Each structure stands twice: as C-alpha cells, then as structure tokens.
Amino acid sequence: MRHPPTALRRTPEEVRDIHLSYARPDLRFFSAGACHVLAFAFLERYPRAGFRPRFICPAAGFHGAHVYVSDGRMAFDAQGYVAEDELLGAHRRALQAEQPEWLADVTDVQVPLAEFCAGNNHRAPWDFPGNVWERALAYLQTFPAPV
C-alpha cells in the first residue's frame, strides 16, 4: 500500500538542514526532497524503457511538488510502480485534504536535470552533502526493472 505524500514530507527542521534531510531513510528521502534525482537516475538506469520525467507543479501559493517518471500508463517514484492515474489521484486527494483549493499542473520535464533544478527551486545532485546520485542508483536496485 502506498503512503500519501503528506506522510513522507520533510519536517521544517529537515527543510532547513540538508544534512538532516539527507539522513532520512531512502523512502522518505526520495519521496520528498530528492524525488527529482531518483526520477532522473531511473532514466539513466533504464534509458530504453519508454519512461519520461513528469512534474507535478502546484499553483502559486501551494506546496506538494513531485517529480516521477511515466510511460504514459505506469509511473515510478520512491514508492515503486503504480498506475499513473492512481499516483496522481492519491497525490491530489492528500494535498486537497490539507489545502482544499489545491491545484497543480502535470507537465513533462523536457530539460536536463541541472536545468530543471535551476528553474524550479530544486537542489541539484551536487548540492546534497553525500553522493545522492549513487544513493539513487542503489535505491533503484531494490525495485524490479521496468518491463
């Protein structure tokens, strides 16, 4: 069973302190704070699987951004594979439970990771205290390869 995204987010202390954020278990870390790194690591590991990065970008004034990969039917994020519509529905329901007017656009990411990070206030891999890229690749090994 998937956790709602609101259950995996960073605490205010973890938001302020990247070392605390980085020290979280992989599921929590790659669900909130480094989801974009995991998505792009997935694409590097499985370049021919037909997946593309997608960005849930909340409307101004709302939180709840998320990056995952999708082949148009199935999605993958830190919690594993799930139907994309299920991922999006669960994300929307969880955020609207806290922010009833919550809205977001879901778009394909069409730029490299560094450019995405710079344009969307996300930490680039080299801005983390450890080797986040290697950590993401190792975490991917705990899931089956896409079919």
Interval 92-110: pLDDT, tens: 999 999 999 999 999 999 9
Whole-angstrom distance, CA of residue 43 vs CA of residue 53: 8
Cα 142 to the center of its chain, rounded Å: 16
Whole-angstrom distance, CA of residue 35 vs CA of residue 147: 21
Instruction: Write out pLDDT tens, residues 27-36.
Output: 999 999 999 9
Domain map (residue ranges) of the chain: 5-140
Quote the percentage of the chain above a pLDDT of 70: 100
pLDDT score of 45: 98
What number is the average pLDDT over the span 4-33? 95
Question: What's the whole-model pTM score?
Answer: 0.96
pLDDT of 1 > 90? The answer is no
Residue with tokens 């994020």: 77
